[in-house]
Amino acid sequence: MVFKYDFLIIGAGVAGMSYALKIARAHKGKVCIICKTTLDEANTYFAQGGVASVTNTKIDNFDKHIEDTMIAGDYISDRRAVEQVVRNAPGQIAELVEWGVNFDRKADGSFDLHREGGHSEFRILHHADDTGAEIQRGLMHAVRSNPDIEIKENHFAVEIITQHHLGITVTRRTPDIECYGAYVLNPDTQKVDTYLSKVTLMCTGGCGAVYQTTTNPVIATGDGEAMVYRAKGTVQDMEFVQFHPTALYHPGETHPAYLITEAMRGYGGILRLPTGETFMEKYDERLSLAPRDIVARAIDKEMKIHGIDHVCLDVTHKDAEETKHHFPNIYQKCLSIGIDITKEYIPVRPAAHYMCGGIKVDLDGCSSIKRLYAIGECSCTGLHGGNRLASNSLIEAVVYADTAARHSMAHVDEYDFNTAVPEWNDEGTMTNEEQVLITQSLKEVGQIMSNYVGIVRSDLRLKRAWDRLDLLYEETEALFKRVKANRDICELRNVINVGYLITRQAIERKECRGLHFTTDYAHHAYDEN
């Protein structure tokens, strides 16, 4: 089957749905969202903390938010991107509210603001401790209610279509690579259909599932980054993987591991060893409110020193009713596994959380491939630099949805559908024996990445990861050529591609910078040698 849409959106989190709503409002053409599961299973849903934006101008201002972001990004953030996001944030918050998203407010009607690590002021808008779920709920309702947006749930984008599929040799040096749409797997027919588009938007979210333990859902397999990399697009800063320092330690729950929001440390939570002893004073004067990378490395080190599999977060000194009010979902979740957080410590450990790099884009969300935009976690806008400031990601997604929507609507009439694109070659068969190869390889990737390309790295570990991933890549590509495309093997290909990109770009960075910490280049870029 061949489908034609003016705007093809691959991914359905806050970025994709915001973009779709803006395009549909302008009535600039047919809009289609490709969602590989259901709308409510996006990474956005799992974002507990909140959205960073300057709203209380009596105590806060844009310059403070910009400086906090630059410091967190280890001064390799693109200041133009930082300024664009920070200055446009309040306007996009107003738009989210207009679409039906509820943020917690005080009795006087003003926003109830939290503060998180790395922020100099209280500026985090939230909805209890499930802000992402609330944003997803509001946007889903708006998208489903809009007759101009077509939603294809449980459809999987296999590849984006470029000149390569017309028989033209495309390399990383090829100028003017163009995207003509995507090949998409239909779950009902198990056939790969051709989706032609004038404009394609990649917003596939994160890639935490590359690691053994992650706060991301199992669907976060880095599909966008992998597809664009295979299409010879530019992917950048993949070495900067943010590990959330406090995922709930509960063996068996690893994809996703339950997130204990950073707001709990902003609320006064104290990190302790299981014995009750504090340890953050050894690592940073900001103690438990230090930025995530410092806290994650500190926890990682303490776990290794003491031979323990978790540390603890303590809120037992806080008022019990206030704790239940602020963190109702965390309270219930911990209670479900036998922990009353008002009386007992919460067992926590770091887990892969957020990708700061991704598909390189400019201030309009344009990738290096013409007619292809990328926004949200799969993109590298330059906002995060070497490390993401807490709660900057959701606001980045909606601000760039706005800039990408404006730019693509201004140019969509310059493009046409490329009807010379051939249909997908679906030769091959898949047997149960081959399925076990996919499952085993996926496990291996998780082990390789967690053991060798984790919070603390070294040249030796990275080289070992590279060699192992190379072998898995060769085996998987050979298998992919022999079998019919299905979601499992496509996700495995993507996970291997993303693991390779993280490892290669980590090898290339010969310094400790932001989230990339290596024992072989202990000096930071600003240290005196």
Q: Which residues are catalytic?
A: 292
Give the CA distances from residue 219 to residues 11, 150, 214, 445, 487, in Å, rounded to whole numbers and listed in that order.
Answer: 11, 21, 11, 15, 10
What's the rounded Cα separation, in Å, for the pair 247 and 384? 21
Instruction: Tell me whether residue 522 is exposed, middle or buried, using C-beta atoms within 10 angstroms of its C-beta: 0 to 12, 13 to 18, 19 or more.
Output: exposed
What's the rounded Cα separation, in Å, for the pair 446 and 496? 10
For 83, residues 6+ apart whose C-beta sits below 8 A from its C-beta are 62, 66
What's the rounded Cα separation, in Å, for the pair 88 and 94? 10
**DSSP symbol at 389:** P
CA-wise closest residue to 100 among 44, 138, 126, 136: 138
Instruction: Tell me whether residue 404 is exposed, middle or buried, using C-beta atoms within 10 angstroms of its C-beta: 0 to 12, 13 to 18, 19 or more.
Output: buried
Alpha helices in 99-195 (DSSP H): 131-144
What's the rounded Cα separation, in Å, for the pair 370 and 351? 35
150 contacts 32 by C-beta, under 8 angstroms: yes
CA-wise closest residue to 178 among 423, 420, 477: 420
479 contacts 471 by C-beta, under 8 angstroms: no
Residue 34, strand partner residues: 10, 152
Provide the residue count of the chain: 529
What's the rounded Cα separation, in Å, for the pair 516 and 453? 10
